[in-house]
């Protein structure tokens, strides 16, 4: 294992066994990704309030790409998230989707997401199946417009996460996000202003902000296909 990376298998198996919601199949996910995206209507269900969901007029935001990487673990589909290290410039110590900013040489933002996720997770991404994009999301603190892409691989990748960026790797059963019991809300004070924060409670972590907003749209797509 590299750096402070720790495999979360000790709780991912418990959640797979104890969850009340059946795991979607990859066929159901493929069908979901062929449907029209619910967009902001779904995103806003997990957005902090108040929070701008679109960039302000003026300076164009930087472009970024993130990856929703799905793969089976002993049958059920899982999704990988990362706990960011505490010394990063943006979103330090938060749970995030792998990805990062566009760079010269990236032909598309999908290539950005694949390159950044590959560097962050230490995996080969050239064999991943692209299932489709989700709705881009503006992130005010970093002034990024993030483009999410859903991908699939039939085998669990051999992760070697970068310890400079990843404090912990979270491999979470996809079915967990379809269980409404993991959704909670708290009131935080940010910059002296009370803010209502929706979050997913996952394995002792609170998944909130941009990551939760992206996942909310993906969950809404799955629900429309009749996935459990």
The tens digit of pLDDT for each residue in 98-151 reads: 998 998 888 899 999 999 999 999 999 999 999 999 999 998 888 899 999 999
Q: Give the position of tokens 């004070």.
A: 189
What confidence tens digit (pLDDT) does each residue in 8-39 have? 444 444 454 445 678 999 999 999 999 999 99
In a domain, 2, yes or no: no
Return the half-sphere exposure (C-beta side, CA atoms, 13 A cut-off) of residue 99. Answer: 30
Judged by phi (left if over 0) then psi (alpha if -120 to 50, else beta), residue 70 lies in beta
What range does the domain containing 103 cover?
A: 9-53+60-224
In a domain, 164, yes or no: yes
78 beta partners: 71, 173
In a domain, 3, yes or no: no
**What is the count of structural domains for the chain?**
1
In a domain, 4, yes or no: no
What distance in Å separates the CA atoms of residue 3 and residue 163, rounded to the nearest whole number?
5
By CB atoms closer than 10 A (0-12, 13-18, 19+), residue 47 is: buried
Least confident of 12-21, 169-178, 187-196: 12-21
| CATH at 156 | 3.90.79.10
Both structure tokens of 55: 């960039």
């Amino acid at each position: 294992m590299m750096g402070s990376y720790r495999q979360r298998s000790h709780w991912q198996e418990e959640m797979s066994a104890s969850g009340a919601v059946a795991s979607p199949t990859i066929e159901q996910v493929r069908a979901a990704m062929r449907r029209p995206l619910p967009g902001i209507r779904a995103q806003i269900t997990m957005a902090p309030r108040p929070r701008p969901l679109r960039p302000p007029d003026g300076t164009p935001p930087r472009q970024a790409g993130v990856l929703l990487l799905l793969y089976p673990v002993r049958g059920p589909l899982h999704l990988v998230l990362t706990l960011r290290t505490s010394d990063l410039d943006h979103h330090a110590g938060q749970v995030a989707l792998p990805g990062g900013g566009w760079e010269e040489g990236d032909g598309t933002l999908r290539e950005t997401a694949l390159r950044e996720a590959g560097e962050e997770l230490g995996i080969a991404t050239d064999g991943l199946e692209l299932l489709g994009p989700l709705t881009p999301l503006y992130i005010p603190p970093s002034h990024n417009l993030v483009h999410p892409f859903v991908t699939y691989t039939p085998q669990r990748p051999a992760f070697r996460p970068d310890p400079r960026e990843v404090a912990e790797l979270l491999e979470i059963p996809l079915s967990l996000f379809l269980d409404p019991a993991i959704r909670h809300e708290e009131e935080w004070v940010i910059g002296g202003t009370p803010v209502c924060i929706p979050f997913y409670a996952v394995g002792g972590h609170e998944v909130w902000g941009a990551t939760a907003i992206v996942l909310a749209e993906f969950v809404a797509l799955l629900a429309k296909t009749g996935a459990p």
